Structures are given as structure tokens and as C-alpha cells.
């Protein structure tokens, strides 16, 4: 009976649009010591939510006292069909690049709604007493660990979860439930001797295989960091292709993505106009109301208006377009101190570069 229930849950998950689905037990994390060490090293930066109440994050039974199983799903968000699997377009020095996951609608909203439908299905099929909790990258659960245990993928050296057949462009979500279900075999695999992700990271954020110092990561610096970007990392925004929201470099160079990523057919994850390589100069002039309109229901909201403009100003530091210099000069009187400071720094970088060229 439990096997039939698990099969029905998986079939329903696929019908709801989830590309991967597996089941694991609700036992405590096997990586408790490693996670605590990562937190103690300060690698989480300002992401305090990752280091608070570790006992809840490391044991699913803290989320649901009688938890027995975890249903884990994965949803593909890769959309670059016209470029070929895993092949990024040559960056335009005057245009912005958004991480692939943020080019469409907010995955939290998309997946949470469907996971709730899946939970309703589970309750109806399992009968009286069945309960569950839904999580999509917002609750205290080690998603990649439970996904590996459920057979969805294995850990790459870039710390991403990699599916041997499909790569790593997946969102993860979970249902923690008190229903006992048969578990799947953990995923097996590895990177071998490949170090492409470590070699390609523009800020050295992957400090060792399987270890990420988030404080150095472009995704953290352009999204989670609310203050000024450290000067040592500012040039990386432009030098890596104007990645003004997030970063895909360690995924773009991964052989499993280069060979096996396939475009998603999910309408919600198709790029919206605002994320299709807009001109940096135009973005710097964006008002707060325009930001709200263009990124309503988008992951980009997390950076906030001032954070996104800070990132754009940083990316413009490498531009040789006179329009970029003019836009930065205009931004010196911006209402947000964070944006003004970054514009001043970028302007000085442009002027110093022009001076060097004039004296060569």
C-alpha cells in the first residue's frame, strides 16, 4: 500500500510540473558538524537566518514533531534554448546580466502553490491524520542534503546539487510529512578531477572543493549584502559580464550543464522583458516605481531598488561609453547614499582608466 501511495505521489508531482521527485526519511542531518563549522567560520556573511536556531535546521522533527518522511521535488529553470545547452552568450559590455533563476517569476510563489496542491493530494490519499509542512528555500531545512538522500542529485565541488542526467539548473522544494513512505536510494556521482568551477569563480568564493565562502560570492554581494560592496570585489561585477543580480558562472562551466541542460517549458520561468539584457545606463535611471512595476512577482525584488542600482553603478565602472560616465555623474546626487557612494567610486575608476590611456 505504501509503495502504491509513493508512486501516486510521484505521478501527481510530475503532473504538477515538477521535473524531479524523490522521497527520503526525516532523520537528523548527517552534516551537522560540517554545517556548524561553516557557520562558525562566518561564511554565511550577513545571512543570519542561516545560522539562527541551528537545531531546527538540522532536524526535520523540529519542524514537524512526528515527521516520518520528506518528499523532495526539483523544478528546471534553464531557459537559454537559443544558445544551446549551457552555452552563455558573449556578454555585451553595456548590458546587464541577471542570473537565470531570476529572469522569470518568483519560484517561491510558483513552487509553493503547487507543493500545497501536492500536500492536499497526499492528505486525501493517505487518509485521516496525515499532515505536512511545505518548504521552498524559505524554511530551516538543508535542502540539498535531503535532495541527495532522495536521489535527485549529488554534491558538486561548487556546492550545487547536480543531477547526472540533467545538470544543476533546478529549484528545490520539500514536504515534510508524518506519513511513513518508502524511501529512494541516495544519488551517487562526482566531479572526478574537474575543477572548472573553482578555476572560473571570479572572486575565489569556492575556497576549496565543496566549500563556499558566501561573503565572496557574486550572488551574495549583489543580492544578500545590503551595504556597500567591498572595493576588492567591485571590478568582478563588470569583468564577469555585468552580473548585476546573482551569478551562474560556476554552473555555466560545469560539464554536466554544458552537455545535459535542457530548456524548461514552464511559462512562469521564461524571461520577462526587464531581464533580457537591458542597457546599464537605462537601468541606472530607473525610478523606484519603475522598479516595483518591472519586478513585481520577481526574485529581483530581494535586492531592493537601491541594491540593484548599486550593482548597476558598480558594473558601469568598466564602461568606456561616454553615456556611462554621464549617467554616473548624474547619479552623484541620487537620493540613496548607497547608490551615490558606488557611483562616485565607479566614476573615479573610469576617470583613472582614461588618465592611464592618455599617458601611455
Q: What percent of the chain has pLDDT over 70?
A: 97
pLDDT for res 216: 98
Paired with 195 in beta bridges are: none
Cross-strand bridge partners of residue 208: 211
- List, for residues 12-56, the tens digit of each pLDDT value: 999 999 999 999 999 999 999 999 999 999 999 999 989 888 888
Query: CA separation (Å) from 303 to 83, 142, 245?
Result: 27, 23, 8
Beta bridge pairs of residue 163: 167
- pLDDT, tens only, 135-179: 998 888 999 999 999 999 999 999 999 999 999 999 999 999 999
Strand partners, 327: none
Query: What gap in Å lies between CA 114 and CA 116, rounded to an integer?
Result: 5
pLDDT > 60? residue 88: no
Report the share of the chain in percent with pLDDT over 90: 88
DSSP per residue over 211-241, as a string?
EE-GGG-HHIIIII--SPPPGGGHHHHHHTT
Q: What is the 8-class DSSP label of residue 179?
A: S
**Looking at residue 354, what is its pLDDT?**
84
Give the pLDDT band (50/70/90) at residue 90.
low
Nearest to 238 by CA among 203, 205, 271: 203
CA distance 328 to 181: 58
- Mean pLDDT computed over every residue of the chain: 94
- Mean of the pLDDT values across residues 173-187? 98
Q: Is 248 a catalytic residue?
A: no
Listed by start position, the domains of the chain span 2-177
- The catalytic position among 66, 80, 105, 137 is 137
What is the dihedral sign for C-alpha 46, 159, 107, 253?
positive
- For residue 227, pLDDT over 80 is answered with yes
Q: 282-329, pLDDT tens digit by residue?
A: 999 999 999 999 999 999 999 999 999 999 999 999 999 999 999 999
CA distances from 65 to 30, 109, 126, 314 (A): 19, 26, 18, 47
Q: Collect contacts of 198-203 with beta carbons under 8 A, ≥24 apart.
A: 198/157, 198/158, 199/253, 200/249, 200/250, 200/252, 200/253, 201/158, 201/249, 201/250, 202/236, 202/239, 202/240, 202/247, 202/249, 203/233, 203/236
Whether this prediction's pTM lies above 0.95 is answered by no
Report the alpha-carbon distance of residue 267 to residue 209 in Å, rounded. 35
C-alpha cell at 186: 541516495
- CA dist 66 and 87 (Å) reads 45
Amino acid at each position: 500500500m505504501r509503495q502504491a501511495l509513493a508512486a501516486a505521489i510521484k505521478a501527481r508531482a510530475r503532473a504538477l510540473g515538477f521535473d524531479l521527485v524523490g522521497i527520503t526519511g526525516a532523520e537528523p542531518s548527517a552534516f551537522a558538524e560540517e554545517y556548524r563549522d561553516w557557520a562558525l567560520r562566518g561564511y554565511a556573511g550577513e545571512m543570519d537566518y542561516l545560522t539562527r536556531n541551528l537545531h531546527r535546521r538540522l532536524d526535520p522533527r523540529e519542524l514537524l514533531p512526528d515527521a516520518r518522511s520528506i518528499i523532495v521535488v526539483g523544478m528546471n529553470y534553464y531557459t537559454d534554448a537559443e544558445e544551446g545547452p549551457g552555452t552563455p552568450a558573449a556578454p555585451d559590455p553595456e548590458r546587464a546580466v541577471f542570473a537565470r533563476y531570476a529572469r522569470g517569476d518568483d519560484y517561491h510563489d510558483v513552487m509553493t502553490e503547487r507543493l500545497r496542491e501536492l500536500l492536499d493530494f497526499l492528505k486525501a490519499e493517505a487518509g485521516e491524520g496525515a499532515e505536512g509542512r511545505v518548504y521552498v528555500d524559505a524554511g530551516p531545512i538543508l535542502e540539498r542534503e535531503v535532495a541527495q538522500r532522495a536521489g535527485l542529485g549529488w554534491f558538486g565541488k561548487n556546492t550545487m546539487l547536480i543531477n547526472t542526467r540533467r545538470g544543476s539548473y533546478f529549484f528545490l522544494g520539500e514536504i515534510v510529512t508524518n506519513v511513513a513512505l518508502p524511501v529512494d536510494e541516495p544519488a551517487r556521482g562526482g566531479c572526478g578531477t574537474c575543477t572548472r568551477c573553482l578555476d572560473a569563480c571570479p572572486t575565489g568564493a569556492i575556497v576549496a572543493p565543496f566549500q563556499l565562502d558566501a561573503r565572496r560570492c557574486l550572488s551574495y554581494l549583489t543580492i544578500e549584502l545590503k551595504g556597500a560592496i567591498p572595493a576588492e570585489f567591485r571590478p568582478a561585477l563588470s569583468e564577469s559580464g555585468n552580473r548585476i543580480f546573482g551569478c551562474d558562472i560556476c554552473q555555466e562551466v560545469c560539464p554536466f550543464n554544458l552537455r545535459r541542460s535542457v530548456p524548461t517549458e514552464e511559462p512562469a520561468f521564461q524571461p520577462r522583458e526587464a531581464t533580457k539584457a537591458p542597457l546599464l545606463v537605462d537601468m541606472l535611471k530607473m525610478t523606484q516605481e519603475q522598479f516595483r512595476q518591472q519586478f513585481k512577482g520577481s526574485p529581483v525584488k530581494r535586492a531592493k531598488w537601491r541594491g540593484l542600482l548599486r550593482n548597476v553603478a558598480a558594473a558601469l565602472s568598466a564602461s568606456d561609453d561616454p553615456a556611462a560616465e554621464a549617467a554616473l555623474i548624474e547619479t552623484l546626487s541620487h537620493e540613496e547614499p548607497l547608490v551615490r557612494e558606488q557611483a562616485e567610486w565607479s566614476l573615479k575608476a573610469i576617470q583613472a582608466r582614461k588618465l592611464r590611456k592618455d599617458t601611455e
